[in-house]
Amino acid sequence: MKLPIYLDYNSTTPVDSRVLEKMLPFFSENFGNSASRSHLFGWKAQEAVENAREQVANLINAESKEIVFTSGATESNNLAIKGLFEINYPNKKHIITIQTEHKAVLDVCKHLEKLGVEVTYLQPDYTGLITIEQIKNALRPDTFLISVMYANNEIGTIQPMKKIGELAQEHNILFHTDATQAIGKLEIDVQKDNIDLLSLSGHKLYAPKGIGALFIRKNSRASKLIAQMDGGKHERGFRSGTLNVTGIVGLGEACELAKKELTTDNQRLIMLRNKLESEILQNISDVKVNGNITNRLPNLTNISFGGVDGETLLMSFRDIAVSSGSACTSASVEPSYVLKSIGLSDVMAYASIRFSLGKYTSQAEIDFTIKYVKETVELLR
């Protein structure tokens, strides 16, 4: 067993060796530009792109022509929300979202507020959940978008997506979800959940960094959103720029593997996560699990440790790689805004650690982590 042990899979994942194998030929042998339609090199690249588009679509029960490739979920969120803003403003200028969204949604909303959009940020309960009643109460005649994260990146809470989708459809409002953390971990069906736009990122499901996608429902108002990058009308006019064929191939293969292995992977991850969580709770005093313990991602537990300084605790975990708050805000000295939104004090938010497991996490690593965390916390106390 190698140290340090990696337990930060919600931050990023290693590229699966099978994904890398599929990608390698597109670095040097099949290096063509998929927009080059006049020769074999371009044709091979385009064929690989369309195959990957089908693989991504199959994972979420979409059609391949509803998948637009981007550089990642942050770009997908920007394209979805800003693109809809441009076709709706000023007649419709209201967005509904949640306080615990990723910054890739919250910061977009903050930007649009400067341009005249009004945003309702719903307050979740102490488990991170919002209710349909909250959304109903926030609806306005000028609401053009409901944007709700599928599953939270810090506490893992899964929102009631089907009910939100039904409500949005009933009121003729578009429904967007940042599914970055849910993709590859949960069974997602954009048809069943009435999702109009879905953002995802490759590096959360064992594909490389720098590749993602946006699902855009065909024959809907979502399909009229305005591109945020001009310069070539690639991706049916939604996203200009030479396609990252290598990354796209990797994302497609990762999605196909996830579809095949999701159930068995989840069963193993739940068992390991529950063992880690229950033994920490049993063997260390003054600890608490944050979020919804019955409706959450299978690979994650977020635990607050009382009686220790949070930064000292995190820095003391030299033999395990874990995080406090999301990776995108890890440079900040502020306590997690997600944990504060669900009612934690600054002290307890600082002293909260996210353990996120993955497909390469072993039983031996979990056994070591349980013992190591207990010894470290006791030493600090």
Distance CA 190, CA 197 (A): 9
Closest CA to 302 of 241, 355, 252: 355
**DSSP-derived 3-state class of residue 355:** strand
Active site residue 328: yes
Distance CA 80, CA 92 (A): 15
Distance CA 93, CA 247 (A): 35
Q: DSSP assignment, residue 336?
A: P
Distance CA 55, CA 252 (A): 5
Q: How many CB atoms lie within 10 A of CB 141?
A: 8
Q: Give first-to-last CA distance, the chain, whole Å.
A: 28
* Selected catalytic residue, list 328, 340, 368, 372: 328
**DSSP-derived 3-state class of residue 344:** coil
Residue type present at position 74: T
* Axis-axis angle for helices 40-59, 245-283 (nearest 10): 30
Q: What is the DSSP string of 165-231?
A: HHHHHHTT-EEEEE-TTTBTTB---TTTTT-SEEEEEGGGTTS-TT-EEEEE-TTSGGGGPPPS--S
In contact, 117 and 317? CB cutoff 8 Å: no
Q: Which residues are known to be catalytic?
A: 328
